[in-house]
Structure 1
Amino acid sequence: MELFYDILKQLIRIPSVVGEEHPFFMFIKRELEELGVKVEYYDGVLIAKGSDPQSGYISAHADRHGLICTGHNEFQYAAFIAKNKADLTGDSSSEQLLHNFTARFVDEKVQAYEPWSGTYLGLGSIKDAFLCQRRKNIIFKIEGFDYLFPGTPIAFTDKLEIKDDLISAQLDNVVSIAIIIYMYAVGYKGTAFFTASEEAGRSWRFLLEWFRRFDIKTDELLVLDTSPYPTLDEIRNIDIVMRNRDSNAVFRSPLKNRIKQIAIKNKIRYDFKDSYLKAKMAKNGTISSLGTTELGRLIHATKGEIQGTTLQIPTIGYHTVHETTTKTAVESMIKVLKNLYIT
């Protein structure tokens, strides 16, 4: 796993604020081209093609949460500024968590960067964060950034922390990107998609455009991500997370049962997130969303012409720079992918 962690450590240091992913895409492109993988870049999606492109379709979103300068000494949460709001409907995990966000940001270090080149523009520190009800967004006060122009992205300063059997960072969704690059290094020959603006609910549109561009249909699209749970005890008892459905669509793919069989054979502990959420609702006597995913939106928009399933790593501390998972979970996801696509 040393190679994987080397890749992950590098990726975490490259900023990729939602809507401003270009420098991160360029870094991924270089890493893959060094491995001899063909890379194509379209609006909102980077495509990697191995020597047998139709042998697999894996996708992961490349954006991470961050801030955008929206005026003199004014900074807003990037996923919820007007230009990114196209598909937000109120039932995503991000939106539900919005009201609980503010306190966790105070004293976090952030870095500004030039959105095209990725050039470092300086370091700042968040001094206050509050929810503005009129703009339905978090407004930040940052010390040291009064010289920035509107449109400048600001990423959370981050590095990988490894302690015993746990790893922590802003893992969503850089950990999946690292896994895909690692998979190419160890023999994956299929296609991979790296999408932009998933945290703003837009990534599925970029993916759909690519499939329509080349008139490609599949029922084996595998979307990698992280999946939030409330406690460390829960994630210590789960290695991988799948879904039967989300709030938009039922996932009907032969991949789902294949992954389940691989998990059983290799004693990998799995959970179905929709079943988990339904059980939680039944226990609490409440009704809430099953969550929205990139894949669910894609299936719904294509009326099932594009189908697939999700494979996720269970985490705590979702959407923070301290998002945490177990080493076992990461190794389990890689084991499943190797069984699906290499062995």
Structure 2
Amino acid sequence: MLSTEFIDLLKILIRHPSVVGYEHSFFRVLQRELEERGAKVTWYDGLLVAQGKNPTSAMFSAHIDRHGLICTGPNEFQYAAFVTGNRTDLLNTAVSEELMNKITERFESEQVFAYEPWSGAYLGNGVINDTSICEFRNNLIFEIEGLSGIVAGTPIAFKDKLSISDGRLEGQLDNVISAAILIHLFTLGFEGTVFFTAAEEAGKSWRYLLEWFRRFGGSTNNLFVIDTSPFPDVEAANEQLLVLRQKDANAAFNKHSTERVEELCQENNISYIYKDKYIESTNECLVSQGKQPRSLGSTELGRIVEASNGLVDGTTIQIPTTDYHTMEESASWQSVDALIKLLMIVSKEPQS
């Protein structure tokens, strides 16, 4: 069972907003929790770095931004990931209508609140009462009851709290649960380096991370990226404790690191699945039925591996979840416990 200390930490973090592109106030919360656990914390643009007594012993990373909205005009609110990532028709990089329709279904009637982006100060709350696709801008517009006085440029977070039932943690977990895990490692004596990145949901986080490695990285930059991985239902998610990957749509991951994680899972009776193999197997069935195959997905690690020209490599370890990018996203506490255990083992492995 997960420790009370970890659960208390996750409850604190999930209540603090961290809308993609407006994460500064959440970095303040992370800094406090990390320094209380003895970590040395350094800020960079879009990046918070926490280091223990032996910074090169292991390097873990997780993005800390979550989905939310941005006020873009009088009583007008848009999806933050689209605005922050400049993914609109105005810039000739349209968001698909299919994706926008999925998002409108995800957040109907959700409670939200506005906050001051630098301090995190609360500015008022409301509820989403309508969503539509603007025919002129081909973008999502949200109507919120209760926030008519909010000015443009203000982030709007989804009102969230942690629930625990039937052995599962529930809330907007992506990717605050990974942040909680990495902070908790310092409680357990972790001595390496942890990176907390901003704007991953807008496809920008790898840039902040790569800049750090260009300035401070060594000849061996073996990075383990921690995240969640969506599955269609609880039954499918519970078939394994952890999710590994050999590659994503951008790049292949470090073969030695990936195989070593697999070996450690086997040695410690931690069930796992390779998500890329899972998708490829599913695609074979889809193609045989004349349907469109799924993408392998684009991860933070894949982006930085592709762009770094050999400077950074590594692998990823993910927690299987359900109800991806909603307030009901859930993960089993066994998966979280297994990941904490595995990361502590990895952190004590000799780095090559």
Coarse TM-score class (shorter-chain normalised) = over 0.9
Secondary structure at the aligned position of 2:265 is classed as: helix
Give the whole-Å Cα distance in 1 for the aligned partners of 2:333 and 2:217.
39
User: Are the equivalent residues in 2 in contact too, given 1:76–1:140 (CA < 8 A)?
Assistant: yes
After the TM superposition, which residues 213-224 of structure 1 pair with which residues of structure 2 at under 5 Å, given as runs?
Answer: 213-224=215-226
User: Are the equivalent residues in 1 in contact too, given 2:38–2:186 (CA < 8 A)?
Assistant: no
Give the whole-Å Cα distance in 2 for the aligned partners of 1:226 and 1:95.
25
Code of the residue aligned with 1:119 in structure 2: it is A
Give the whole-Å Cα distance in 1 for the aligned partners of 2:40 and 2:98.
39
Give the whole-Å Cα distance in 2 for the aligned partners of 1:305 and 1:122.
45
* Aligned-residue offset at 1:19: 0.4
* Aligned-residue offset at 1:96: 6.7
Alignment partner, residue 86 of structure 2: 85
TM-score, normalised by the number of residues in structure 2: 0.92
Alignment partner, residue 239 of structure 1: 241
Once the two structures are superposed, residues 34-85 of structure 1 have per-residue CA deviations (whole angstroms, 9 ceiling, x without a partner) of 112100000000000110000011000010000000000000000001x422
* Aligned-residue offset at 1:265: 1.4
* Aligned-residue offset at 1:253: 4.5
Alignment partner, residue 36 of structure 2: 34
* Aligned-residue offset at 1:322: 0.7
* Aligned-residue offset at 1:136: 3.6
Alignment partner, residue 53 of structure 1: 55
Alignment partner, residue 137 of structure 1: 139
User: Are the equivalent residues in 2 in contact too, given 1:252–1:309 (CA < 8 A)?
Assistant: yes
The counterpart of 1:331, out of the listed 321, 337, 343, is: 337
The counterpart of 1:110, out of the listed 87, 109, 112, is: 112
Return closer, same or farther for 1:254/1:91 CA change in 2, 3 Å cut-off.
Answer: farther
Give the whole-Å Cα distance in 2 for the aligned partners of 1:244 and 1:124.
43
* Aligned-residue offset at 1:342: 4.4
Alignment partner, residue 24 of structure 1: 26
The counterpart of 1:168, out of the listed 146, 167, 170, is: 170
Return closer, same or farther for 1:222/1:89 CA change in 2, 3 Å cut-off.
Answer: farther
Shifted more, 83-92 versus 27-36: the winner is 83-92
Gaps of 5+ in 1: none
User: Are the equivalent residues in 1 in contact too, given 2:320–2:335 (CA < 8 A)?
Assistant: yes
User: Are the equivalent residues in 1 in contact too, given 2:131–2:140 (CA < 8 A)?
Assistant: yes
Give the whole-Å Cα distance in 2 for the aligned partners of 1:174 and 1:323.
11
Give the whole-Å Cα distance in 2 for the aligned partners of 1:51 and 1:197.
28
TM-score, normalised by the number of residues in structure 1: 0.95
Secondary structure at the aligned position of 1:248 is classed as: coil
User: Are the equivalent residues in 2 in contact too, given 1:220–1:253 (CA < 8 A)?
Assistant: no
Secondary structure at the aligned position of 1:162 is classed as: strand
Give the whole-Å Cα distance in 2 for the aligned partners of 1:119 and 1:339.
39
Code of the residue aligned with 1:30 in structure 2: it is R
Give the whole-Å Cα distance in 2 for the aligned partners of 1:226 and 1:89.
30
Alignment partner, residue 317 of structure 2: 311
Give the whole-Å Cα distance in 2 for the aligned partners of 1:91 and 1:2.
45
The counterpart of 2:284, out of the listed 282, 285, 298, is: 282
Gaps of 5+ in 2: none
Shifted more, 150-159 versus 230-239: the winner is 230-239
Secondary structure at the aligned position of 1:171 is classed as: coil
Secondary structure at the aligned position of 1:213 is classed as: helix
Code of the residue aligned with 2:130 in structure 1: it is D
* Aligned-residue offset at 1:223: 0.3
Give the whole-Å Cα distance in 2 for the aligned partners of 1:63 and 1:142.
22
Once the two structures are superposed, residues 165-210 of structure 1 have per-residue CA deviations (whole angstroms, 9 ceiling, x without a partner) of 1110000000000000100111110000000000000000000011
Give the whole-Å Cα distance in 1 for the aligned partners of 2:331 and 2:30.
23
Give the whole-Å Cα distance in 2 for the aligned partners of 1:338 and 1:172.
21
Code of the residue aligned with 1:229 in structure 2: it is F
After the TM superposition, which residues 286-305 of structure 1 pair with which residues of structure 2 at under 5 Å, given as runs?
Answer: 286-305=292-311
Secondary structure at the aligned position of 2:316 is classed as: strand
Code of the residue aligned with 1:308 in structure 2: it is G
Secondary structure at the aligned position of 2:152 is classed as: coil
